[in-house]
């Protein structure tokens, strides 16, 4: 049913040039309602520029985009349909959370009473109802981010843009905020564009992903599709990284090399005892699990094989000090693709 | 029912049940300016400067160096110079300060018209002037020593001070819209303020020349100073002194036109030289 939904955000060949520097080249993607799209990329990749173009703060040099059927040549109409939490957003020091949301509600054309009602509901929505009358200056960073999300929702947006929303939050704050974002997308059928450096959080809550590097899109699709791209030659998806005591490195290498599914092993840190075992490719692993030929199935099969290899090491009385499963993760794909683009 | 689940999608484009945007922005700016204490701090500085000026004038009077009416006019001129300075400072900080505090972007992400945003900020930046004028009344009244021209002097001071405050606040606001930082907008604004004060410091010989007359006529601050001197102290008829009011009135109109007609539509997230370019389509008013 989701597939039949019309995209709520469509970007076509967007470009942004500053003088002689091209910050964004040919950005194209679409987003359907109720889905979370992760915008990934190293610093300077063009994520924030992309969001600023898509939120009408910057004018594209070329290309166009549509939000809820409204073209980029009607920026004010687009602003009525989007909510944005910019990176590093500031807040007025002398307003309460309630007053702040009421003010922005009115800026979006709500009557004073409607804006007040909306502010109360949104504060409850983001869990700040008990601090509604406190000055924003007394809020913690996490509370301000929640307030920022509430502000981005005052106009009931069709698309919500969040630029590094979890930056600077503690792990619990990150988890809570991500759950909130996912709930907003699912319950309110809002399309969410989430820009982040945190690959694990993108992988955890995003349905789709766009990976950017130096203004280019280097990968896009569903998270599973993008991870599946790691099956391409040269991308180290099927890898087991394991740390054993230094005096057991040679023994562990011998045991791993004896396994038919291990192509080769490399000792990356003799002193610390890290060994990297490169496994057979995805096709060779599909038989172990429910492999369907897609990235997720191959990843599952790789996991089963890693368990077997670990069992072999443990069976040989080799202590496992640390384990990095490697492969099958967005992080590996991201590192590989961005490194390739840089080269 | 949740605010988010209300049927009907986004807030409709025709929604206009609320207050005009400029009034909303004005209210928010006034809150930040007055409750935040910035206006109060500047007014305390104003009161200190007025106290010092009044003390010096009163001391001169004891030495019979300055007649009361002249002291009254000098105090009035000081009130205007210090009062408009507050507007200049607040105006120069109003946009660039928001850029630095990262509070401008959320405002630009609303469908609010840029002219409304700037108008709200403009009026808020001018707001300390009436308070400064009221604060100055006791000083001027004491120095007037019962002079019959006190009432008319205060009335002219209020009117001309308002004109000058709007002009200089507009200068500060312009610098703020086009500056990448508050530091640079303050620098530019203070430079213009000092240039406006300069003609009064020029040698009398130069002021008597045609070039001096042109400089005085072009400088709204100097024109107002000349008007008050010639009309209130020199006894010049109002009809004869009226020409001196052309510069401040023209300056006021120019400032408003440039601020609201030229700068406001170009209000952008980034300041600096780039923002001096043509009006972007993203800034088109609703």
The pTM score is 0.81
Alpha-carbon distance of B157 to B229, in angstroms, equals 12
Pairing of strands A274-279, A262-269: antiparallel
Alpha-carbon distance of A85 to B102, in angstroms, equals 11
Each residue's pLDDT tens digit, A116-126: 999 999 999 99
Which residues in chain B have their CB less than 8 angstroms from residue A103's CB?
Answer: 24, 27-28
Distances (CA, A) of A67 to A70, A82, A114, B5, B278: 5, 8, 25, 19, 25
Each residue's pLDDT tens digit, B242-266: 888 999 999 999 999 999 999 999 8
Whether A183 and chain B come into contact, CB under 8 Å, resolves to: no
Residue of A21, A72, A78, A90 for testing the chain B interface, max B β-carbons within 10 Å: A90
Tell whether domain A2-91+139-221 is in CATH 3.40.50.300: yes
- Specify whether the CB–CB gap between B88 and B185 falls below 8 A: no
| Chain B residue with minimum CA distance to A103 | B24
What residue ranges do the domains of chain A occupy?
2-91+139-221, 238-326
Residue A26 has pLDDT above 50, yes or no: yes
Tell me how close the Cα of B279 comes to any Cα of chain A, in angstroms.
11
Look at B281 and A187 and tell me if their CB atoms are within 8 Å: no
Residue A88 has pLDDT above 90, yes or no: no
Tell me what the mean pLDDT of segment A201-223 comes to: 87
User: Percentages helix, strand, coil for chain A, rounded to the nearest 5?
Assistant: 45, 25, 30
Each residue's pLDDT tens digit, B118-142: 999 999 999 999 999 999 999 999 9
Residues 86-115 of chain A whose Cβ lies under 8 A from any Cβ of chain B:
86, 88-95, 103-104, 106-112, 114-115
Residue holding tokens 């693709």? A337
* DSSP per-residue codes, A150-184: HHHTTT--SEEEEESTTTT--HHHHHHHHHHHHHH
- Specify whether the CB–CB gap between B65 and B143 falls below 8 A: no
Look at B106 and A151 and tell me if their CB atoms are within 8 Å: yes
Q: What is the pLDDT of residue A172?
A: 83
Tell me which architecture the domain covering A238-326 has in CATH: 2-Layer Sandwich (3.30)
**Residue A40 DSSP SS3:** strand
Which residues in chain A have their CB less than 8 angstroms from residue B12's CB?
Answer: 80, 109
Tell me how close the Cα of B252 comes to any Cα of chain A, in angstroms.
29
Tell me how close the Cα of B179 comes to any Cα of chain A, in angstroms.
17
Provide the CB-side half-sphere exposure for B40 (13 A, CA): 6
**From A59, A109, A153, residue closest to B16, measured CB to CB:** A109
Tell me how close the Cα of B60 comes to any Cα of chain A, in angstroms.
45
No. of H helices and E strands in chain B?
14, 0
Which of B55-59, B71-75, B260-264 has the least mean pLDDT? B55-59
Which residues in chain A have their CB less than 8 angstroms from residue B38's CB?
Answer: none
Residue A342 has pLDDT above 70, yes or no: no
What residue ranges do the domains of chain B occupy?
21-272
Q: What is the pLDDT of residue B13?
A: 41
A71-75: long-range contacts (C-beta < 8 A, 24 or more apart)? A73/B281, A75/B281, A75/B282, A75/B284
Residue B8 φ/ψ, nearest 5 degrees: 110, 0
Tell me what the mean pLDDT of segment B147-176 comes to: 95
H or E segment to which residue A63 belongs? strand A62-67
Distances (CA, A) of B97 to A152, B101, B265: 22, 6, 18
Q: What is the pLDDT of residue A237?
A: 55
Which residues in chain B have their CB less than 8 angstroms from residue A154's CB?
Answer: 3
Which residues in chain B have their CB less than 8 angstroms from residue A114's CB?
Answer: 17
Q: Which residue has the higher pLDDT, B164 or A275?
A: B164
Each residue's pLDDT tens digit, B174-227: 999 999 899 999 999 999 999 998 887 777 777 778 888 888 778 999 999 989
No. of H helices and E strands in chain A?
12, 14
Q: In this structure, what token pair is assigned to residue B65?
A: 């160096």
């Amino acid at each position: 049913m989701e597939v039949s939904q019309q995209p709520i955000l469509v970007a076509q060949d967007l470009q942004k040039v500053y003088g002689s520097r091209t910050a964004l080249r040919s950005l194209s993607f679409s987003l359907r309602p109720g889905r979370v799209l992760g915008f990934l990329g190293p610093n300077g990749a063009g994520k924030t520029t992309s969001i600023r173009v898509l939120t009408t703060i910057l004018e594209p040099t070329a290309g166009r985009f549509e939000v809820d059927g409204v073209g980029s040549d009607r920026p004010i109409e687009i602003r009525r349909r989007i909510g944005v939490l910019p990176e590093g957003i500031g807040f007025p020091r002398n307003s309460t959370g309630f007053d702040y949301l009421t003010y922005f509600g009115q800026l979006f054309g709500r009557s004073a009473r409607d804006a007040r009602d909306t502010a109360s509901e949104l504060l409850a929505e983001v869990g700040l109802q008990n601090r509604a009358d406190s000055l924003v200056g007394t809020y913690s960073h996490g509370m301000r981010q929640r307030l920022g999300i509430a502000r981005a929702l005052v106009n009931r947006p069709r698309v919500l843009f969040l630029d590094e929303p979890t930056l600077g939050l503690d792990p619990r704050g990150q988890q809570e905020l991500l759950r909130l974002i996912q709930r907003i997308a699912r319950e309110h059928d809002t399309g969410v564009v989430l820009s982040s450096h945190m690959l694990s959080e993108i992988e955890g809550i995003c349905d789709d992903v766009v990976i950017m590097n130096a203004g280019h899109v280097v990968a896009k699709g569903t998270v599973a599709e993008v991870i599946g791209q790691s099956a391409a030659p040269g991308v180290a998806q099927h890898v087991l990284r394991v740390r054993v005591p230094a005096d057991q490195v040679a023994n562990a290498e011998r045991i791993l090399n004896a396994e038919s599914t291990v192509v080769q092993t490399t000792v990356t840190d003799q002193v610390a005892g890290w060994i990297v075992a490169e496994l057979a490719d995805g096709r060779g692993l599909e038989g172990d699990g429910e492999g369907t030929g897609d990235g997720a199935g191959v990843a599952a099969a790789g996991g089963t094989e890693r368990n077997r290899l670990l069992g072999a090491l443990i069976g040989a009385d080799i202590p496992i000090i640390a384990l990095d499963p490697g492969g099958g993760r967005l992080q590996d794909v991201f590192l590989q693709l961005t490194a390739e683009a840089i080269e | 029912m949740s605010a988010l689940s209300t049927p009907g999608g986004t807030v409709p484009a025709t929604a206009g049940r609320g207050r005009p945007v400029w009034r909303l922005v004005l209210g928010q700016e006034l809150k930040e300016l007055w409750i935040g204490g910035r206006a109060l701090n500047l007014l305390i500085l104003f009161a200190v400067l007025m106290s010092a000026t009044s003390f010096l004038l009163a001391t001169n009077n004891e030495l019979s160096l300055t007649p009361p009416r002249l002291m009254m006019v000098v105090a009035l001129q000081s009130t205007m110079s210090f009062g408009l300075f507050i507007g200049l400072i607040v105006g120069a900080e109003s946009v660039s300060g928001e850029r630095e505090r990262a509070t401008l972007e959320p405002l630009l992400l609303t469908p609010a018209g840029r002219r409304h945003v700037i108008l709200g900020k403009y009026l808020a930046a001018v707001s300390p002037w009436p308070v400064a004028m009221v604060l100055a009344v006791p000083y001027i009244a004491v120095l007037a020593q019962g002079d019959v021209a006190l009432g008319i002097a205060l009335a002219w001071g209020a009117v001309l001070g308002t004109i000058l405050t709007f002009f200089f606040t507009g200068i500060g606001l312009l610098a703020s819209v086009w500056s990448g930082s508050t530091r640079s907008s303050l620098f530019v604004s203070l430079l213009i303020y000092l240039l406006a004060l300069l003609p009064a410091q020029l040698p009398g010989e130069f002021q008597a020349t045609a070039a001096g007359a042109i400089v005085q006529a072009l400088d709204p601050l100097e024109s107002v100073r000349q008007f008050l001197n010639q009309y209130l102290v020199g006894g010049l008829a109002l009809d004869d002194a009226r020409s001196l009011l052309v510069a401040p009135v023209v300056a006021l109109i120019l400032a408003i036109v440039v601020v609201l007609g030229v700068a406001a539509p170009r209000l952008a997230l980034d300041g600096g030289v780039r923002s001096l370019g043509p009006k972007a389509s993203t800034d088109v008013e609703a």
